């Protein structure tokens, strides 16, 4: 391949790299403006959201609770045991293996602290927990259990319950199907916000992270654009294509 052809391909690649990177820069600018002018309630889906305040465990008499020792005898060795309040009832949360993040795959068992029976997050319990986090005037219109591939919660590894509310925002409330944790709210506003986040972070593989293959490729493309640009500056200087006039 001759030097002329090499320069032709370098110029071709430089122009196209510049075009692609320029488009992404415009996307960053547009989405950045959107994030700045959009209320945080629209971005986070907190219009009808309230945190579920934990009840004080001292409100429950320890004499009425099932002894923890008898509970542990029925299960395999646990790494951590804690007492929580779920749907206004004391519950033992048994961790077979403690995970670093809440969205990691939890190996947990819930046990009713009164009866000693295992607690499963069914539809009724999920709806009850969801309503505790909802402040709007809507009512539950449907629920469904999700097991894999959560488009709206890409990092979530655990099965979820989706509780849909009939209100002006089409609110959807998500409950962790393992331990009953409130994952969050989604609605029509967050659907647009999620799209903007996807474009801004180039998260086209639904990984929920900026550290994804598209970001790596884009970084490499910017490096190649910079190197090819430096080459053309040096080539133009050597070929004396720049004319400097001193006044």
* In the chain, where the domains are located: 3-41+199-237, 49-186
Task: State the pLDDT at residue 243.
Answer: 72
What is the percent of the chain where pLDDT is above 70? 97
pLDDT in tens, 197-217: 999 999 988 888 888 999 999
- Exposed, middle or buried, 89 (CB in 10 Å: 0-12/13-18/19+)? middle
Task: State the pLDDT at residue 36.
Answer: 97
Ordered DSSP codes for 69-94: HHHHTTS---SEEEEEEETTEEEEEE
Which residues on adjacent β-strands are paired with residue 119? Answer: 110
Lowest mean pLDDT, pick from 19-23, 74-78, 88-92: 74-78
Task: Give every CB contact of residue 40 below 8 A, 6+ residues apart in sequence.
Answer: 46
| pLDDT band at 66; cut points 50, 70, 90 | confident
pLDDT in tens, 38-57: 999 999 999 999 998 777 76
């Amino acid at each position: 391949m001759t030097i002329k052809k090499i320069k032709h391909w370098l110029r071709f690649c430089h122009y196209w790299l510049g075009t692609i990177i320029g488009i992404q820069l415009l996307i960053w600018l547009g989405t950045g403006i959107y994030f700045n002018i959009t209320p945080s309630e629209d971005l986070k889906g907190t219009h009808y959201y309230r945190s579920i305040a934990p009840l004080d465990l001292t409100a429950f008499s320890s004499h009425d609770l099932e002894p923890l020792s008898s509970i542990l005898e029925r299960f395999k060795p646990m790494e951590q045991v804690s007492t929580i309040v779920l749907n206004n009832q004391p519950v033992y949360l048994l961790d077979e293996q403690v995970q670093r993040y809440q969205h990691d795959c939890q190996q947990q068992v819930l046990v009713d602290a009164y009866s000693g029976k295992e607690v499963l997050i069914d539809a009724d319990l999920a709806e009850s927990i969801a309503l505790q986090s909802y402040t709007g005037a809507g009512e539950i219109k449907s629920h469904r259990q999700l097991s894999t591939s959560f488009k709206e919660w890409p990092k979530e590894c655990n099965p979820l319950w989706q509780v849909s509310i009939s209100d002006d925002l089409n609110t959807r409330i998500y409950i962790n199907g393992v331990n009953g944790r409130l994952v969050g709210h989604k609605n029509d506003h967050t659907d647009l916000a999620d799209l903007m986040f996807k474009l801004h972070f180039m998260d086209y593989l639904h990984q929920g992270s900026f550290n994804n293959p598209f970001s790596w490729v884009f970084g490499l493309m910017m490096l190649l654009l910079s190197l090819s640009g430096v080459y053309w500056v040096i080539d133009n200087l050597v070929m004396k294509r720049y004319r400097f006039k001193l006044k």
